[in-house]
Structure 1
Amino acid sequence: MHLITYHSKHTGFTLIELMITITVLAIILMIGSSLTRSWIDQSQVNNAISSIQNAISQAKAKAIRNKNNTSFNEAAASVCIYPWQDSLEPKPKTVIKVVYGSCPLDEPDDALQSFELSNITIQQGTSSLNCLDFNYVGTLVSGSTCSSTANPTLTIGKNNETATIIIR
Structure 2
Amino acid sequence: MKRHAGFSLVELMIVVTLLGVLLMVAAPFTAAWSDSAQVRDAEGLLNQGIGRAKAAALRNRHGMIDDQPSALLCLDGDKMLSLHEAAGTGSPASCDAPRQWSAQLPQRVAVQSGGSDFACLGFDARAMPIDLGGCADNQTLALSAGSEHVSVTFH
Q: TM-score range by the shorter chain?
A: 0.7 to 0.9
Equivalent position to 1:111, from 99, 107, 111: 99
What corresponds to 1:28 in structure 2? 22
Q: TM-score, normalised by structure 1?
A: 0.78
Gaps of 5+ in 2: 87-92
Equivalent position to 1:44, from 27, 38, 50: 38
What corresponds to 1:128 in structure 2? 117
Structure 2 distance, partners of 1:8, 1:112, is 77
What corresponds to 1:167 in structure 2? 154
Give the match's secondary structure for 1:155: strand
* Percent identity (aligned): 27
Which amino acid letter does the alignment assign opposite residue 49 of structure 2? A
For residues 64-121 of structure 1, the C-alpha deviation after alignment (integer angstroms, 9 at most, x for no partner) is 11112111211110111112xxxxxxxxx300101113333x5x5x211101112321
Which amino acid letter does the alignment assign opposite residue 130 of structure 1? A
Give the match's secondary structure for 1:138: coil
What corresponds to 2:134 in structure 1? 145
Which amino acid letter does the alignment assign opposite residue 32 of structure 2? S
Which 10-residue stretch deviates more, 156-165 or 49-58?
156-165
The total of aligned residue pairs comes to 148
| Deviation, structure 1 residue 22 | 1.1
For residues 112-143 of structure 1, the C-alpha deviation after alignment (integer angstroms, 9 at most, x for no partner) is 11011123210013211111100011101111
Which 10-residue stretch deviates more, 17-26 or 56-65?
17-26
Structure 1 distance, partners of 2:64, 2:18, is 66
What corresponds to 1:158 in structure 2? 145
Gaps of 5+ in 1: 1-6, 84-92
Max Rg structure: 1
| Deviation, structure 1 residue 159 | 2.2
Measured on the aligned residues, the alpha-carbon RMSD in Å equals 1.9
Q: TM-score, normalised by structure 2?
A: 0.84
Structure 1 distance, partners of 2:48, 2:2, is 73
Give the match's secondary structure for 2:80: strand
